[in-house]
């Protein structure tokens, strides 16, 4: 239930006349057997707004077979009934279906009365159930009323069965919005009625309790004491109740077998009360007969609903809004044209990825990749040579970064580099190791190659690392897009995912092969046509190293008192390390030119050869696989099978909304 809608619940013991009362009020026959017949709740809604008689039966499943609350599901049970004579059989079938949750409901549609009464033993069949049979009666001659009929309270059964029925009754009469209608047979003492005790426990003030006395005709003429006792109770002299007592005479088995009409049964009952002592002497005649009882119950129920109407409507509107919002958030149900829908969804998926790659609509991918390329730039910059123009470097601070030097704030994560410092003596050793047949005073080009390759050879690892990060970034976007476009259909999403990742791996392998070839260009030969920039960089770095060497005091560490080379050797004569300084400047300037080109062409290559290639080939590849073969339409129809969880959620929400709209219609009619 969504909330406690005011209702009437009929309770009583076995043989209290409860089933006969339900028949008299509703005008239909309900299953009657010796012993306990009602084994699950029956919720009956009676409406006089129809022009002709009809009956519809549904099953509302609120609990699993172990009695644990689950998601409410309502199933229509059988066709609309227009023949009263068949209602009893359909009710018997519905109850059998409720008690056999392991059997499909429609298996009971053709069961005969004999098959249901004499069903073979079944260990999986329940003795009782909290799930309900719903009955909607449309009859222009009845009183508008809604009530719940429960299994009769039993005493001569197994303890666990007695407890199940007891708990079912208690759970249904606890709510303050439930009116409790107790059937009490006049053949027994009021003090012996278990139903009366349960009602007293649930409603101590008696504001929700109405008692109806049944079987007055069982009291013989000689039972004068019992008749007087019940007369005193009806007149309010004993065991007072806020809403008092009613007395009804119901059809006996003989009258039932003759199928007396409701009008005839009511006429006979009225004649009995008008002619039989002591009932004919009671002044308040509204306390006798089923029509008076039904009219009183209807008015009492309407009054209780009207009292709670503002709260009920507010809660109902809140729930309708909540469930409609949840339903709106779900994807629409599958199309009746599966092939068209699959192709449209595939096109939308591919276009969304392409838009992300080119940064047209979805900026997430391009922004994520720009951050990765910026990190790649920092990684490449960290491989820069750390030349220190001193005869030894351990006692000098790093001259490459100064407090006054402008810094590139975008790549400030890497400042000092990853390479060990090389001083003048280290560079001199590289020159010495490179000498072959050069003329005197000529620095071998091999020394330049050795030093350049020492640094540029480090570029392969960060380039491949950047490439892998881009692949992962694109994979994440693809995963998100596939979930958005195909998540409703598990099989389709799985199929598209498998094809997409095969294509992704193909593009990845091809792009990585090209990337490795491009990076191999940064080995030998050393080459650039950007001579102007190379010359400018070389002059700049030579001037810088010379200046640092001249201003060595600015770079003193704490453990040295004097420079290695006297100042007069630097500027009164030729610097003995002029070749080394020139080599440092040449290597650093070439690294700078190569660095500037590699931080551009690696990202461009990845974008062109991986992301853009994948975006360009994806739709064609998916269409080719989806449309392949003569059975493509059948395959796409199978792929478009909706995820069971989504279907179940949609069905549950639609069922809740339909139920709430029914309640709203009833509240509107009562207001």
Tokens of 220: 């013989």
CA 225 to CA 588: how far, in whole Å?
A: 123
For 314-359, the pLDDT digits (tens) are 888 999 999 999 998 888 888 788 999 999 999 999 999 999 999 9
Checking if the pLDDT of 310 tops 70, the result is: yes
Checking if the pLDDT of 408 tops 50, the result is: no
Checking if the pLDDT of 446 tops 50, the result is: yes
* Residues 94/133, Cβ–Cβ less than 8 Å: yes
Provide the terminal-to-terminal Cα distance of the chain, rounded to the nearest Å.
21
The whole-number average pLDDT for the span 26-52 is: 82
Checking if the pLDDT of 439 tops 50, the result is: yes
The whole-number average pLDDT for the span 263-291 is: 91
* Sign (positive or negative) of CA dihedral 478, 480, 484, 488: positive
pLDDT of residue 562: 46
Domain ranges of the chain: 7-318+659-670, 340-405+412-640
CA 441 to CA 446: how far, in whole Å?
A: 15
Checking if the pLDDT of 413 tops 60, the result is: no
CA 61 to CA 397: how far, in whole Å?
A: 81
Q: Could you tell me whether strands 132-138 and 54-63 are parallel, antiparallel, or unpaired per DSSP bridges?
A: antiparallel
Give CATH for domain 7-318+659-670. 3.40.50.300
Range in 232-236, 316-320, 536-540, 649-653 the model is least confident about: 649-653
Portion of the chain with pLDDT greater than 70, in percent: 92
The whole-number average pLDDT for the span 302-319 is: 84
Closest CA to 308 of 72, 5, 628, 610: 5
pLDDT of residue 332: 82
The whole-number average pLDDT for the span 207-217 is: 92
- What are the CA-CA distances from residue 350 to residues 357, 482, 494, 544, 623 (Å)? 11, 10, 16, 53, 11
For 101-116, the pLDDT digits (tens) are 999 999 999 999 999 9
CA 539 to CA 424: how far, in whole Å?
A: 18
What pTM value is reported for the model? 0.57
For 177-208, the pLDDT digits (tens) are 899 999 999 988 887 788 999 999 999 999 99
Question: Is 268 in a helix, a strand, or coil?
Answer: helix
Write out the DSSP string of 122-157. -TTS-S--S-EEEEEEE-TTSPPEEEEE-PPB-SSS
Mean pLDDT of the chain: 87
Residue for token pair 């008015």: 299
At 482, the pLDDT band (50, 70, 90 cuts) reads very high
pLDDT of residue 334: 80
Checking if the pLDDT of 568 tops 60, the result is: no
For 220-272, the pLDDT digits (tens) are 777 888 899 999 999 989 888 999 999 999 887 777 778 778 888 889 999 99
Residue 225 CB-density burial (10 A; 0-12 exposed, 13-18 middle, 19+ buried): exposed
CA 247 to CA 274: how far, in whole Å?
A: 13
Q: Dihedral angle at the C-alpha atoms of 469, 475, 480, 484, nearest 10 degrees? A: 160
pLDDT of residue 152: 87
For 130-177, the pLDDT digits (tens) are 999 999 999 888 888 888 999 888 877 788 888 888 998 998 999 888
For 483-523, the pLDDT digits (tens) are 999 988 989 999 999 999 999 999 999 999 999 999 999 99
Range in 9-23, 209-223, 570-584 the model is least confident about: 570-584
Checking if the pLDDT of 549 tops 60, the result is: yes
Checking if the pLDDT of 564 tops 80, the result is: no
Checking if the pLDDT of 35 tops 80, the result is: no
Q: Which fold has domain 340-405+412-640?
A: 1.20.120
pLDDT of residue 4: 64
Residue for token pair 């392998």: 509
326 contact partners, CB below 8 Å, separation of at least 6: 649, 653
Portion of the chain with pLDDT greater than 90, in percent: 55
The whole-number average pLDDT for the span 628-637 is: 88
The whole-number average pLDDT for the span 526-543 is: 96
For 63-87, the pLDDT digits (tens) are 988 888 888 888 899 999 999 999 9
């Amino acid at each position: 239930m969504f909330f406690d809608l005011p209702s009437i619940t009929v309770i009583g013991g076995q043989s209290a006349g409860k089933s006969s009362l339900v028949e008299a009020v509703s005008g239909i026959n309900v299953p009657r057997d010796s012993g306990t017949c009602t084994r699950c709740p029956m919720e009956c809604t009676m409406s006089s707004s129809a022009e002709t008689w009809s009956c519809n039966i549904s099953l509302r499943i609120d609990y699993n077979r172990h009695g644990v609350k689950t998601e409410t599901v309502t199933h229509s049970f059988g066709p609309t009934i227009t023949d009263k004579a068949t209602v009893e059989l359909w009710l018997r079938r519905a109850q059998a279906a409720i008690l056999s949750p392991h059997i499909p409901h429609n298996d009971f549609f053709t069961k005969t009365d004999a098959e249901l009464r004499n069903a073979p033993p079944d260990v999986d069949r329940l003795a009782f159930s909290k799930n309900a049979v719903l009955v909607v009666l449309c009859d222009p001659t009845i009183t508008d009323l809604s009530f719940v009929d429960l299994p009769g309270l039993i005493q001569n059964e197994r303890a666990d069965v007695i407890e199940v029925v007891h708990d079912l009754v208690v759970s249904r009469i606890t709510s303050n919005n439930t009116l409790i209608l107790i059937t009490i047979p006049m053949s027994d003492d009021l003090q012996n009625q278990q139903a009366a005790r349960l009602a007293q426990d649930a409603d101590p003030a008696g504001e929700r309790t109405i008692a109806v006395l049944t079987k007055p005709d069982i009291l013989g003429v000689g039972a004068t004491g019992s008749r007087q006792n019940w007369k005193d109770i009806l007149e309010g002299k004993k065991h007072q109740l806020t809403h008092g007592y009613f007395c009804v005479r119901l059809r006996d088995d003989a009258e039932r077998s003759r199928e007396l009409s409701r009008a005839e049964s009511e006429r006979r009952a009225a004649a009995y009360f008008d002619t039989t002592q002591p009932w004919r002497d009671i002044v308040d005649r509204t306390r006798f007969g089923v029509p008076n009882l039904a009219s009183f119950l209807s008015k009492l129920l309407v009054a209780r609903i009207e009292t709670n109407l503002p709260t009920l409507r507010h809660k109902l509107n809140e729930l309708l809004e909540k469930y409609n919002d949840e339903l709106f958030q779900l994807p629409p149900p599958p199309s009746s044209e599966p092939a068209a829908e699959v192709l449209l969804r595939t096109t939308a998926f591919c276009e969304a990825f392409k838009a992300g790659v080119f940064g047209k609509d979805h900026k997430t991918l391009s922004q994520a990749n720009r951050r990765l390329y910026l990190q790649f730039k920092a990684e490449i910059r960290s491989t820069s040579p750390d030349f220190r123009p001193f005869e030894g470097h351990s006692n000098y601070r790093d001259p490459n970064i100064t407090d006054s030097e402008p810094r590139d704030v975008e790549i400030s994560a890497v400042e000092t580099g990853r390479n060990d410092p090389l001083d003048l003596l280290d560079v001199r050793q590289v020159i010495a190791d490179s000498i072959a047949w050069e003329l005197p005073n000529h620095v071998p080009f091999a020394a330049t190659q050795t030093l350049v390759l020492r640094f540029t050879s480090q570029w392969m690892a960060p380039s491949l690392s950047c490439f892998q990060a881009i692949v992962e970034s694109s994979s994440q976007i693809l995963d998100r897009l596939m979930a958005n476009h195909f998540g409703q259909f598990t099989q389709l999403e799985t199929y598209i995912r498998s094809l997409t990742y095969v294509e992704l791996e193909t593009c990845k392998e091809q792009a990585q092969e090209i990337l490795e070839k491009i990076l191999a260009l940064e080995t030998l030969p050393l080459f650039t046509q950007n001579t102007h920039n190379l010359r400018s960089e070389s002059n700049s770095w030579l001037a810088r190293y010379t200046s640092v060497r001249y201003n060595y005091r600015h770079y003193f560490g704490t453990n040295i008192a004097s420079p290695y080379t006297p100042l007069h050797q630097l500027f009164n004569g030729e610097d003995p390390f002029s070749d080394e300084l020139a080599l440092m400047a040449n290597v650093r300037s070439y690294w700078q030119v190569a660095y500037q080109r590699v931080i551009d062409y690696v990202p461009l290559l990845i974008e062109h050869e991986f992301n853009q290639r994948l975006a360009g080939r994806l739709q064609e590849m998916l269409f080719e696989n989806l449309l392949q073969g003569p059975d493509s339409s059948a395959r796409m129809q199978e792929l478009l099978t909706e995820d069971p969880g989504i279907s179940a959620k949609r069905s549950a929400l639609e069922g809740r909304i339909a139920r709430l709209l029914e309640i709203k219609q009833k509240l509107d009619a009562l207001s």
